[in-house]
Amino acid sequence: MFVIKKFISSGLGLLLAMVLFPIYFSGQLQAQSVEEKILIVYLTRTKNTKAIAEIIHNEIGGTMVALQLENPYPDDYQTTVKQVAEENESGFLPPLKTKIENFNSYKIVFLGFPTWGMQLPPPMKSFLQEYDWSEKIIIPFNTHAGYGAGSSFETVAKMCSDGKLLEGFSIKGGIERDGVLFVFEGKKAQEAKEKVVEWLKKIDLL
């Protein structure tokens, strides 16, 4: 007993603890599967953002979760545009049916969303509001109808300011207003895959 006490109180014990603790914790991290480490959350209406989420998932793995609302938006496009404009105006955050189990276990969270009214869609704002982003690596991705990501990436940066935000990805998807719904098929799917891979390499995830 005396020998152990002496060992601990000596600098040698402290040194050993300093070496062993990081090894133990890095072992813990490695023991976690990719599914437990990477979360890919996305909002989609006409499945374009879902297609990008699937490309990311095929490349690096992880757990995919589609955001579901307590009260889904109407099927009609114009009614939805109007409702979203009102929600953006009032700051209403629609309640979500989706709950993430073991949110703490994830280290990297991909956030996928379409541009709605040149902003981050209200359900994604609800999602960001609900969770603690400190100690997370956050990676946004977006599809739009040709007008870009608007203020959506800036809103993610503001709402996740406690976490580490990596460079996002944005690509032209459908144009529901003109009846163009899902576009990532054939040549467009291949092009999207190439662009996603290029981006994942740029941010050092591939």
Ligand X SMILES: Cc1cc2nc3c(=O)[nH]c(=O)nc-3n(C[C@H](O)[C@H](O)[C@H](O)COP(=O)(O)O)c2cc1C
Binding region for ligand X (CB under 6 A): 44-50, 77, 80-81, 84, 114-118, 143-147, 150, 173-176
What residue number has its CB nearest to ligand X? 173
Give the type of residue at 62. G
Task: Indicate the residue among 46 and 63 with the shorter CB distance to ligand X.
Answer: 46
Report in angstroms how near the CB of residue 112 gets to ligand X at its nearest. Answer: 8
State which residue, 79 or 161, has the beta carbon closest to ligand X. Answer: 79
- CB closer to ligand X out of 68 and 104: 68
Residue among 7 and 147 whose Cβ is closer to ligand X? 147
Task: Please identify, using beta-carbon distances, which residue of 136 and 144 lies nearer to ligand X.
Answer: 144
- Closest contact distance (angstroms) between CB of 180 and ligand X is 8
* Choice between 38 and 53, CB closer to ligand X: 53
How far apart are CB 73 and ligand X at their closest, in Å? 7
Q: Please check whether residue 161 is in contact with residue 132, taking contact to mean a CB–CB distance below 8 angstroms.
A: no
Q: How far is the CB of 157 from ligand X (least distance, A)?
A: 19
Residue 34 CB, nearest approach to ligand X (Å): 24
For the chain, the three-class secondary structure string (H helix, E strand, C coil) is CHHHHHHHHCHHHHHHHHHHHHHHHHHHHHHCCHHHHEEEEECCCCCHHHHHHHHHHHHHCCEEEECCECCCCCCCHHHHHHHHHHHHHHCCCCCECCCCCCHHHCCEEEEEEECECCECCHHHHHHHHHCCCCCCEEEEEEEECCCCCCCHHHHHHHHCCCCEECCCEEEECCEHHHCECCCCCHHHHHHHHHHHHHHHHHCCCC
As measured in angstroms, the least distance from the Cβ of 169 to ligand X is 13
- Residues 121, 114 contacting (CB under 8 angstroms): yes
